[in-house]
């Protein structure tokens, strides 16, 4: 199964690499011939004239009598940085292009656990000295693919600008991939990236989650049959277009027998909810393990609320909101509001909370307590939409009116009940207000 919905990104990266190496590049699958040979149709190579020897583009030709010397096209930047959130398909995109590039590919991958000095570059380069790299790589076109730059050691990152300068006039391309949502403010890659931009040494490509039409095609490709619209909508809501989540969720549905034929389509079996795949849960918990204890506590409090939450109130209940959470890749923060990047991420964090601690957090945050007869996951998703769609401190307009509390203030509503049109009647305590005084403090 090829990449779905990535035609524009594939074209941009392939065009940059072709111009950088001076080679014709075919499509990775189902397109023109890949490798060092001429492209199908005999058209001109990207960024140059006719092909000359082993697929290389001739850089200039014989000087015409009495005419000016031929103009050499400006080479493409030596570095390409591909960014996006975890699971969006950055590495798959690069590998798809490299599969048909016809150049020598040398790889290195960042290590989050033991980032030894020069550990990343030592995997891909035969020499550390930028002045000796070109001679060590040989004369053939070479691609240096450095994956997971966000986990790279600082020594390797420090050397990247000098390496880019050393190979700027040679058929050498450096491709770096990193998670844009896991770069703290002081991460060295930010400074390196800014320097490459200033020197015009970098071509950048951001990979976004799949749009709705591409996601539907991906679901059909994975299942091998057209999906029912309701199944596509449910998968889109839970995964928000991240291909890794889509594939793992569909695999979990298939293995658990929750997919059934519906005419000529595949649908979700009646009475079943979408599961939390173990692979997704393990991936989220692995990222949680790298956070400090206060950060994990704050995320647990937020997970009890739902997919979206108010930062001030979470910080009050958890007694802190560490800065590291703003760049941990699990949540997004803007205008005093926080949001888990995906519903599956929130469910994985929630499922990891021990029962006794979960009970204490529910008592500390009343509006996250599910009513009897509701599945916890489905209710939390509905409650989150209801209590946050109108902003902090407001009540969902779809919820059925209820009597005010005994104080007569009208700011505290009764517990959720399934009789309302949206299944939710939420607490409407203002965002900055602390939890009721009778509620215990969240465990540290």
What confidence score (pLDDT) does residue 404 get?
Answer: 33
According to DSSP, the β-strands at 337-340 and 308-310 are antiparallel
pLDDT surpasses 50 at 245: yes
What secondary structure letter does DSSP report for 321? -
* Residues 159-174 pLDDT 10s: 999 999 999 988 999 9
Q: Which of 209, 208, 202 is nearest to 149 (CA)?
A: 202
pTM, two decimals, is 0.65
Cβ–Cβ < 8 Å for 322, 279: no
User: Which tops the pLDDT comparison, 103 or 360?
Assistant: 103
What is the distance between the alpha carbons of residues 187 and 60, in angstroms, rounded to a whole number? 42
What is the distance between the alpha carbons of residues 236 and 378, in angstroms, rounded to a whole number? 15
What confidence score (pLDDT) does residue 136 get?
Answer: 78
Q: Which helix (H) or strand (E) holds 392?
A: none
Contacts for 293 with CB less than 8 Å, ≥ 6 apart: 444
What are the two backbone dihedrals, phi and then psi, of residue 340, each rounded to the nearest 5 degrees?
-65, 140
Q: Which helix (H) or strand (E) holds 368?
A: none
Could you give the count of Cα atoms lying within 13 Å of 132 in the half-sphere of its Cβ?
Answer: 5
User: Which tops the pLDDT comparison, 89 or 114?
Assistant: 89
* Residues 76-96 pLDDT 10s: 999 999 999 888 999 999 999
Q: Give the distance, in angstroms, between the CA of residue 170 and the centroid of all CA atoms in the same chain.
A: 32
Detail the DSSP E strand segments found in 200-298: 202-206, 259-262, 265-268
What confidence score (pLDDT) does residue 271 get?
Answer: 80
What confidence score (pLDDT) does residue 380 get?
Answer: 53
% of the chain surpassing 90 pLDDT: 29
What is the distance between the alpha carbons of residues 202 and 110, in angstroms, rounded to a whole number? 20
22 Ramachandran zone, left/alpha/beta (phi>0; psi -120 to 50): left
Give the chain's end-to-end CA distance (angstroms, integer).
Answer: 46
> Could you tell me which CATH class the domain 7-53+74-206 is placed in?
alpha beta
Q: Which helix (H) or strand (E) holds 410?
A: none
Residue with tokens 């011939």: 33
Name the range with the highest mean pLDDT among 101-115, 128-142, 168-182, 409-423.
168-182
Q: Is the dihedral of CA 405, 409, 415, 418 positive or negative?
A: positive
Length of the chain: 444
State the average pLDDT over residues 32-56.
Answer: 34
What confidence score (pLDDT) does residue 418 get?
Answer: 30
With b for 16 or more beta-carbon neighbours within 10 A and e for fewer, the 43-77 pattern comes to eebbbbeebeeebbbeeeeeeeeeeeeeeeeebbb
Domain coordinates of the chain in residue numbers?
Answer: 7-53+74-206, 212-275, 291-401+410-444
User: Which tops the pLDDT comparison, 109 or 38?
Assistant: 109
Q: Which helix (H) or strand (E) holds 261?
A: strand 259-262
% of the chain surpassing 70 pLDDT: 70
What confidence score (pLDDT) does residue 365 get?
Answer: 60
Cβ–Cβ < 8 Å for 325, 301: no
pLDDT surpasses 80 at 225: yes
* Residues 53-82 pLDDT 10s: 333 333 333 333 444 444 345 579 999 999
What residues form DSSP beta bridges with 81? Answer: 176, 204
What is the distance between the alpha carbons of residues 354 and 341, in angstroms, rounded to a whole number? 22
């Amino acid at each position: 199964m090829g990449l779905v919905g990535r035609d524009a990104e594939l074209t941009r990266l392939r065009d940059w690499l072709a111009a950088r190496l001076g080679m014709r590049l075919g499509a990775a699958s189902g397109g023109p011939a890949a490798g060092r040979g001429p492209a199908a149709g005999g058209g001109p190579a990207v960024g140059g004239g006719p092909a000359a020897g082993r697929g290389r583009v001739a850089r200039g030709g014989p000087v015409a009598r009495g005419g000016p010397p031929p103009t050499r096209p400006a080479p493409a930047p030596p570095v390409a940085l591909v960014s996006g959130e975890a699971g969006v398909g950055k590495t798959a995109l690069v590998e798809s292009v490299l599969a048909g590039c016809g150049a020598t590919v040398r790889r290195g991958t960042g290590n989050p656990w033991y980032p030894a000095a020069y550990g990343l570059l030592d995997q891909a380069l035969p020499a550390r000295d930028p002045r000796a790299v070109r001679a060590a790589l040989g004369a053939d076109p070479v691609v240096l693919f450095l994956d997971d730059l966000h986990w790279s050691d600082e020594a390797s990152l420090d050397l990247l600008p000098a390496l880019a300068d050393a190979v700027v006039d040679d058929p050498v391309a450096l491709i770096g991939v990193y998670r844009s949502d896991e770069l703290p403010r002081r991460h060295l890659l930010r400074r390196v990236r800014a320097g490459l931009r200033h020197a015009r040494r970098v071509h950048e490509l951001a990979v976004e989650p799949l749009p709705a039409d591409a996601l539907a095609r991906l679901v059909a490709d994975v299942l091998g049959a057209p999906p029912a619209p309701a199944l596509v909508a449910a998968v889109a809501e839970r995964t928000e277009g991240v291909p890794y989540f889509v594939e793992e969720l569909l695999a979990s549905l298939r293995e658990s027998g929750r997919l059934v034929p519906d005419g000529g389509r595949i649908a979700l079996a009646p009475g079943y909810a979408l599961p939390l795949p173990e692979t997704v849960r393990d991936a989220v918990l692995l990222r949680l393990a790298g956070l400090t204890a206060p950060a994990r506590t704050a995320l647990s409090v937020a997970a009890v609320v739902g997919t979206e939450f108010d930062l001030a109130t979470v910080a009050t209940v958890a007694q802190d909101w560490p800065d590291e959470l703003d760049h941990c890749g699990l949540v997004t923060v803007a205008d005093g509001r926080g949001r888990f990047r995906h519903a599956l991420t929130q469910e994985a964090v929630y499922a990891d909370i021990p029962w006794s601690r979960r009970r204490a957090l529910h008592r500390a945050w009343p509006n996250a307590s599910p009513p009897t007869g509701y599945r916890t996951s489905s209710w939390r998703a509905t409650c989150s939409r209801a209590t946050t769609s109108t902003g902090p401190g407001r009540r969902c307009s779809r919820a059925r009116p209820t009597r005010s509390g005994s104080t007569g203030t009208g700011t505290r509503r009764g517990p959720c009940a399934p009789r309302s049109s949206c299944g939710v009647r939420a607490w409407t305590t203002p965002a900055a207000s602390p939890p009721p005084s009778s509620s215990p403090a969240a465990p540290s």
